């Protein structure tokens, strides 16, 4: 005599839960990668706008703008240097926003400038001629 089962066994439920867990972890990692890439692209766009602002600043003042606290050919991007850039190059505009997660600074580099952006884990550099260092 055979009996009919009206539900799922415990093993079947555990297998389904494990599969759902694996799928959700893959989805979360993919989403985080997407968000990280989007923030980096936003930072790169802001850096290109800074290059345009530098061109205008040079036209008006005969010199490039550099962030305070720069030494030699390096700088440490922080909230203060990002605010200086927004204030001095963009008349208090919000080009470098907190939503991107990147802070920026501008430093003298080979007679021109370079823009440095960092989110703590990753640093992106753009020179005055548009060359990227990631």
Q: Which residues contact 6 (CB under 8 A, 6 or more apart)?
A: none
Pairing of strands 123-127, 112-118: antiparallel
Look at residue 64 and give its three-state secondary structure.
coil
End-to-end CA distance of the chain: 70
Two structure tokens written together for 109: 């580099």
Q: Domain boundaries in the chain? A: 16-133
pTM above 0.85?
Answer: no
Tell me the pLDDT tens digit for each residue of 65-108: 998 766 677 888 999 999 999 999 998 888 998 888 999 999 99
Mean pLDDT of 8-26: 93
Alpha helices in 62-130 (DSSP H): 79-90
> What average pLDDT is seen over the chain?
90
Mean pLDDT of 23-50: 93
């Amino acid at each position: 005599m055979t009996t009919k089962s009206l539900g799922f066994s415990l093993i079947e439920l555990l297998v389904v839960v494990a599969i759902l867990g694996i799928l959700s972890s893959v989805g979360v990692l993919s989403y985080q990668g997407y968000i990280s890439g989007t923030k980096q692209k936003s930072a790169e766009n802001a850096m290109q706008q800074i290059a345009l602002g530098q061109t205008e600043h040079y036209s008006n003042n005969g010199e490039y703008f550099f962030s305070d606290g720069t030494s030699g050919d390096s700088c440490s991007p922080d909230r203060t240097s990002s605010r200086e850039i927004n204030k001095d190059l963009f008349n208090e505009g919000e080009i470098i926003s907190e939503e991107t997660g990147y802070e920026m600074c501008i430093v003298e580099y080979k007679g021109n400038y370079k823009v440095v952006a960092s989110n703590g884990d990753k640093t992106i550099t753009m020179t005055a001629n548009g060359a990227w260092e990631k």
